[in-house]
Structures are given as structure tokens and as C-alpha cells.
Amino acid sequence: MTSTPTRPAVPVPAARVRRAASARAALPASLPSFLSFRNIGAVYVWLVIAVLFSVWAPETFPTTTTVKQILNGNAVAGLVALSVVPPLAARVFDLSVAYTMSLTSVLTAYFLVSTGLGPAAAIALAMTAALLIGVVNGIVVVGLRVDSFIATLATGALIQSVITMVTDDSSITGVRLLAEPFASIAQLDAGGITLPVLYLLLAATAIWFLLEHTATGRRLYATGFNADAARLQGVRTDRLRFLTLVSSALLSGFAGIVFASSVGSGSPTAGTPYLLSAYAAAFVGATQLRAGRFNAWGTVLAVLLLGTGVTGLGLATSAQWAASLFTGSVLIVALVLTGGRIALPAVLRRRRGNPSPDGSEAPATPAAGSAPRKEDRS
């Protein structure tokens, strides 16, 4: 009986063993990290708010009707909030989004009711106006080097004057705004969920893919973190900022058209209530999922959190000031918590600094991974 020769064992490289071991160790650790309060704290706050209002208004809040109301009622707010995410990622403020939304709302209604144009032509002209606003913002901010906060606020004032000329501060109404096919843009639904919810998901997916999975997104974040360093690396920071302002105007303009379709009129103040909630959602969203970075899904999560609170307050109490109080409070608390996670360790390090021989405190040691100062490198 002959024995089968055995093949000698081939040694596995030590580097491969270490990589496999580290990968196995990272797998179970990734889930607790993802579920941590620091990463998705808004989800836990959202659940607490839902439980609170379920107890406060048990007959009206914990129903499928309320869920649909939150989704449908906050889709436009989500579109406006997403419109400011790309500019903020590049450290640019666009305060004209609310005015752009109002302008496209009234222009679409005006062209449909007063000129007799079809829905496609009216929407095209309104979106052309939004594109023009984005280009003007880009020229003023990027070309003329005017601070984006002041420049877009001034642009918003100019847009408001155009809105007043067109509407005389009165809403534009008409039968054509309530008829098909224009009404179906926002009022067509499937199972009680309207089309604007789909628009919100598509916009969030597009922005998420752009920021997280493209070189352009990485350059946007680099521009926002340190524009000078990004420029030295060959990033065209001015072009990126210009394009973010154009995209912001287009998305907020589209939100205005959706709003006009949903309410059946063109309102000169359509976008005004959405400005605070848009920036509140964007900043709260920057504390979630990608902490420290403005991101799409964190913003959508924040929109739903704010929408749940506002809807719950509307069902539980009739106070007119409750919604604004809730939105402002959530924004302040989110910023305080985020700033506390970053600033508190630095404060403690400074307070625990080693005393120098003359009795004064020595400077704190820089945190690990932080960039050295210029005097440290020289």
C-alpha cells in the first residue's frame, strides 16, 4: 500500500495574517461605532421626540396618517435644506435660496395664469431665472470677492424687489395651477406618499454620491476645510464655489416650483419660512453620520427630526410660536453639543497644562494628529 505524498505547507506571510486579523477585529467594532450617540445622536433624539408626542397626543400622533404628513409636509423643506449643503461644504453661504424659491414659485404661476404658456415652458423660464441667480451669485462672490454671506443677502433683496414687481405682494392664483399636468408635479401620490418625497430622495442620493464617491466631492470638502491648501494642491477652488452657488439656486428654484404645484398658487413669501429650517437641518445634519462635514443623509435625517417635532407640536398644542421655538432650540442644542465634543478637551488640556518654573502655566501640548503651527515648523 503506497502512501500519497503530501504537499509541504506554504507559510502565510505575516503581513497578510495581520491584515486579516485587523479586518476581523474591525468588523464587530464598526457596528457599535456606527450606532454610537456621537454618530447618529439625532436618531435617538428623534425616537425620544416620537415617544414624547405619542404620550402627549396618543389619539392623533402615533398613526400612519401622521407619518405620511411628516414625509409629505417636509419634502419641500428637505429640498431647500439640501440646496445649501454643497455651498456649505465649500464654506460658502447662500442666503438667497429662500428668495429664489419664492421667485420661481411666482414666475411659474405668472406664466401659467397671465401669459397662457404651457407648464413646460413656464417651468423652463422659471428655472432659467434660477440659473441666472446662481450665475450672478457666483460672479459677485467668486469674481468680485464679496463675502458670500453679505453678497447672497443683497442678491436676495434684489430678488424680492422683482417678486414685488411681478405680484404686488399678492399671491397669484388660477384654475391652471390646480389642473393637470401642473398639479400632478407635487400632488400625485402612491399609497399616500406624494412625488416630492421621491424628489427629496433622488436629490439626497445625487448629493451623497457627489460628496462621498467622486473626486469633485473630495475637492469640495478640501476647499471648505482649507481653501489655500487645496489651491496649492491644484484644486480649482473658485470654480467649485461658483458651481455650488449655481447648483444651490437650481435646487431651491425647483423647490419653489414644487411648492407652487402643491398649494396651487404662487406666493411671494413662499421661501421665507424655509430659510431658518434649511440651515438648521444642514448644521444639525453636519453632526450626524459624517461628523464635522455637511452631508446629504444627515441633512435629511435632521429635516425629519425637525418635521416630527413641529408636527407633534401642531397636534398637541395650538400655540403659533411653538414651531419656531422648537426649530431654534434644536439648532442651538446641536451646535452646542457638537462644539462641546470638539472644544472641551482643548479647554481641559489648557487648564491642566504643566506649570513652568516661574509658576505660570505652560502652553498645552497640541492634540495628536493636529497640524503644527508655522512657528513649530520653522
Query: Residue 29 above 70 pLDDT?
Result: no
Query: Residue 378 above 60 pLDDT?
Result: no
Q: Give 52-92 pLDDT, tens digit per residue.
A: 889 988 888 999 999 999 999 999 999 999 999 999 999 99
Mean pLDDT across 187-213: 95
Q: Supply the pLDDT for residue 349.
A: 45
Q: Supply the pLDDT for residue 368.
A: 35
Q: Supply the pLDDT for residue 38.
A: 74
Q: Supply the pLDDT for residue 214.
A: 95
Mean pLDDT across 165-192: 91
Cell for 327?
A: 426649530
Write out the chain in H/E/C secondary structure. CCCCCCCCCCCCCHHHHHHHHHHHHHHHHHHHHHCCHHHHHHHHHHHHHHHHHHHHCCCCCCCHHHHHHHHHHCHHHHHHHHHCHHHHHCCCCCCCHHHHHHHHHHHHHHHHHCCCCCHHHHHHHHHHHHHHHHHHHHHHHHHCCCCHHHHHHHHHHHHHHHHHHHHCCCCEECHHHHCCCCCHHHHCEECCEEHHHHHHHHHHHHHHHHHHHCHHHHHHHHHHHCHHHHHHCCCCHHHHHHHHHHHHHHHHHHHHHHHHHHHCEECCCCCCCHHHHHHHHHHHHCCCCCCCCCCHHHHHHHHHHHHHHHHHHHHHCCCCCHHHHHHHHHHHHHHHHHHHHHHHHHHHHHHCCCECCCCCECCCCCCCCCCCCHHHHC
Query: Residue 304 above 90 pLDDT?
Result: yes
The least confident of 141-145, 155-159, 333-337 is 333-337
Q: Give 360-375 pLDDT, tens digit per residue.
A: 444 343 333 334 444 4
Q: Supply the pLDDT for residue 335.
A: 66
Query: Residue 272 above 80 pLDDT?
Result: yes
Highest mean pLDDT pick, 40-49, 62-71, 283-292: 62-71
Write down the residue that cell numbers 449643503 correspond to: 85
CA distance 92 to 90: 6
260-291 b/e (C-beta count within 10 Å ≥ 16 → b): bbbbbbbbbbbbeebbebbbbbbbbbbbbbbb
Q: Supply the pLDDT for residue 339.
A: 55
Query: Residue 105 above 70 pLDDT?
Result: yes
CA distance 53 to 314: 10
CA distance 191 to 65: 11
Confidence of residue 18 (pLDDT cuts 50, 70, 90): low
